[in-house]
Amino acid sequence: MLKKYIIAIDLGGTNLKIALLDLNFRIKARQSFPTGRLKTKFKLIAKIKSSVTEILSAEKISRSEVLGIGIGVPGPVDYGSGKVHFFPNIPGWKDVALKSILERMIRLPVLIDNDANLMCLAEARLGAAKKSKNAVCLTLGTGVGAGLLINGDLYRGSGFAAGEIGHMPLNEEGPRCNCGGRACLERYIGNKEILKSAKKYFKRNITLEELSSLAKKGNKKAKELWYNVGIKLGIVLAGVVNLINPDRMVIGGGVADAGKILFSAVIQTIKERSMPVQARSVKVLKARLGSSAGLIGAAILLKEGLNK
Amino acid sequence: MLKKYIIAIDLGGTNLKIALLDLNFRIKARQSFPTGRLKTKFKLIAKIKSSVTEILSAEKISRSEVLGIGIGVPGPVDYGSGKVHFFPNIPGWKDVALKSILERMIRLPVLIDNDANLMCLAEARLGAAKKSKNAVCLTLGTGVGAGLLINGDLYRGSGFAAGEIGHMPLNEEGPRCNCGGRACLERYIGNKEILKSAKKYFKRNITLEELSSLAKKGNKKAKELWYNVGIKLGIVLAGVVNLINPDRMVIGGGVADAGKILFSAVIQTIKERSMPVQARSVKVLKARLGSSAGLIGAAILLKEGLNK
Find chain A residues with C-beta within 8 A of B150's C-beta. Answer: 150-151, 155
pLDDT for A263: 94
Tell me if chain A has a CB within 8 Å of the CB of B240.
Answer: yes
Q: Check CB contact under 8 Å for B164 and A232.
A: no
pLDDT for B258: 76
Tell me if chain B has a CB within 8 Å of the CB of A181.
Answer: yes
Q: Are residues B75 and B158 in the same domain?
A: no
Check which CATH number belongs to the domain holding A154 and give it: 3.30.420.40
Continuous H helices in A107-255: 115-126, 186-189, 191-202, 208-216, 220-244
Q: For residue A143, what are the contacts with CB-CB under 8 A and spacing of at least 6?
A: A74, A88, A166, A186, A190
Find chain B residues with C-beta within 8 A of A157's C-beta. Answer: 134, 244-246, 278, 281
Out of A161, A169, A235, the one facing B275 most closely (by C-beta) is A161
Q: Check CB contact under 8 Å for B239 and A169.
A: yes
Q: Are residues A154 and A30 in the same domain?
A: no
Mean pLDDT rounded to a whole number for chain B: 95
* Helix or strand holding residue A249 (H, E): strand A248-252
Residues A252 and A138: beta-carbon distance below 8 Å: yes
Tell me if chain B has a CB within 8 Å of the CB of A269.
Answer: no
Residues B148 and A246: beta-carbon distance below 8 Å: no
Find chain A residues with C-beta within 8 A of B236's C-beta. Answer: 169, 239
Residue B57 has pLDDT above 90, yes or no: yes
Find chain B residues with C-beta within 8 A of A244's C-beta. Answer: 157, 162
d(C-alpha A137, C-alpha A251), whole Å: 6
Phi and psi, residue A15, nearest 5°: -130, 150
Q: Are residues A181 and A258 in the same domain?
A: yes
Residue B20 has pLDDT above 90, yes or no: yes
Distance from CA of B57 to the nearest CA of A (A): 41
Distance from CA of A151 to the nearest CA of B (A): 9
Distance from CA of B135 to the nearest CA of A (A): 9
| A125: in domain | no
Residue B163 has pLDDT above 90, yes or no: yes
Residues B120 and B43: beta-carbon distance below 8 Å: no
Q: Are residues A135 and A263 in the same domain?
A: yes
Q: Are residues A87 and A149 in the same domain?
A: no
Determine the average pLDDT of the residues in B54-59: 97
pLDDT for B13: 86
Q: Are residues A185 and A217 in the same domain?
A: yes
- Rama region for A277: left / alpha / beta (φ>0; ψ in -120 to 50; rest): alpha
C-alpha distances (whole Å) from B247 to each of A159, B118, B122, B150, B284 are 8, 19, 17, 10, 9
Tell me if chain B has a CB within 8 Å of the CB of A61.
Answer: no
Residues B116 and B147: beta-carbon distance below 8 Å: yes
pLDDT digits (tens, 9 = 90+) for A127-169: 999 999 999 999 998 889 999 999 999 999 999 999 999 999 9
Q: Are residues B140 and B233 in the same domain?
A: yes
Tell me if chain B has a CB within 8 Å of the CB of A113.
Answer: no
| B155: in domain | yes
- Structural domain boundaries, residue A37: 5-118+292-306
Q: Are residues B283 and B152 in the same domain?
A: yes
d(C-alpha A229, C-alpha A237), whole Å: 12
Residues 140-159 of B with CB under 8 A from A: 146, 148, 150-151, 155-159
Per-residue pLDDT of chain A (308 residues; tens, 9 = 90+): 688 999 999 999 889 999 999 999 999 999 999 999 999 999 999 999 999 999 999 999 999 999 999 999 999 999 999 999 999 888 899 999 999 999 999 999 999 999 999 999 999 999 999 999 999 999 998 889 999 999 999 999 999 999 999 999 999 999 999 899 999 999 999 999 999 999 999 999 999 999 999 999 999 999 999 999 999 999 999 999 999 999 999 999 877 777 789 999 999 999 999 999 999 999 999 999 999 999 999 999 999 998 77
Residues B129 and B135: beta-carbon distance below 8 Å: yes
| B123: in domain | no
Q: Are residues B77 and B175 in the same domain?
A: no
pLDDT digits (tens, 9 = 90+) for B117-139: 999 999 999 999 999 999 999 99
Q: Are residues B146 and B215 in the same domain?
A: yes
d(C-alpha B229, C-alpha B265), whole Å: 8
pLDDT for A210: 94
The maximal CA–CA distance of chain A, rounded, in angstroms, is 62
Q: For residue B91, what are the contacts with CB-CB under 8 A and spacing of at least 6?
A: none
Find chain A residues with C-beta within 8 A of B249's C-beta. Answer: none
| B33: in domain | yes
Phi and psi, residue A54, nearest 5°: -60, -50
pLDDT for A190: 94
DSSP character at residue A90 = B
Q: Are residues A143 and A255 in the same domain?
A: yes
Q: Are residues B17 and B41 in the same domain?
A: yes
Q: In terms of residues, how long is chain A?
A: 308
d(C-alpha B168, C-alpha B146), whole Å: 11
| A124: in domain | no
pLDDT digits (tens, 9 = 90+) for B221-252: 999 999 999 999 999 999 999 999 999 999 99
Output the pTM of the full model.
0.95
Best of A153, A160, A164 to disrupt the B interface (most B CBs within 10 Å) is: A164
| B162: in domain | yes
pLDDT for A237: 98
pLDDT digits (tens, 9 = 90+) for B167-181: 999 999 999 998 999
At residue A289's C-alpha, the angle toward residues A285 and A14, to 5°, is 115
Q: For residue A107, what are the contacts with CB-CB under 8 A and spacing of at least 6?
A: A63
| B268: in domain | yes
Residues 183-222 of B with CB under 8 A from A: none
State how many domains chain B has. Answer: 2
Find chain B residues with C-beta within 8 A of A163's C-beta. Answer: 243, 245
| A123: in domain | no
ipTM of the modeled complex: 0.95
Least confident of A101-105, A204-208, B89-93, B158-162: B89-93
Continuous H helices in chain A: 41-58, 98-106, 115-126, 186-189, 191-202, 208-216, 220-244, 260-273, 276-281, 293-306
pLDDT for A253: 82
pLDDT for A176: 97
Q: Annotate chain B with three-state secondary structure.
A: CCCCEEEEEEECCCEEEEEEEECCCCEEEEEEEEHHHCCCHHHHHHHHHHHHHHHHHHCCCCHHHEEEEEEEECCCEECCCCEECCCCCCCCCCCECHHHHHHHHHCCCEEEEEHHHHHHHHHHHHCCCCCCCCEEEEEECCCEEEEEEECCEEECCCCCCCCCHHHCECCCCCCECCCCCECECHHHHCHHHHHHHHHHHHCCCCCHHHHHHHHHCCCHHHHHHHHHHHHHHHHHHHHHHHHHCCCEEEEECHHHHHCHHHHHHHHHHHHHHCCHHHHHHCEEEECCCHHHHHHHHHHHHHHHHHCC
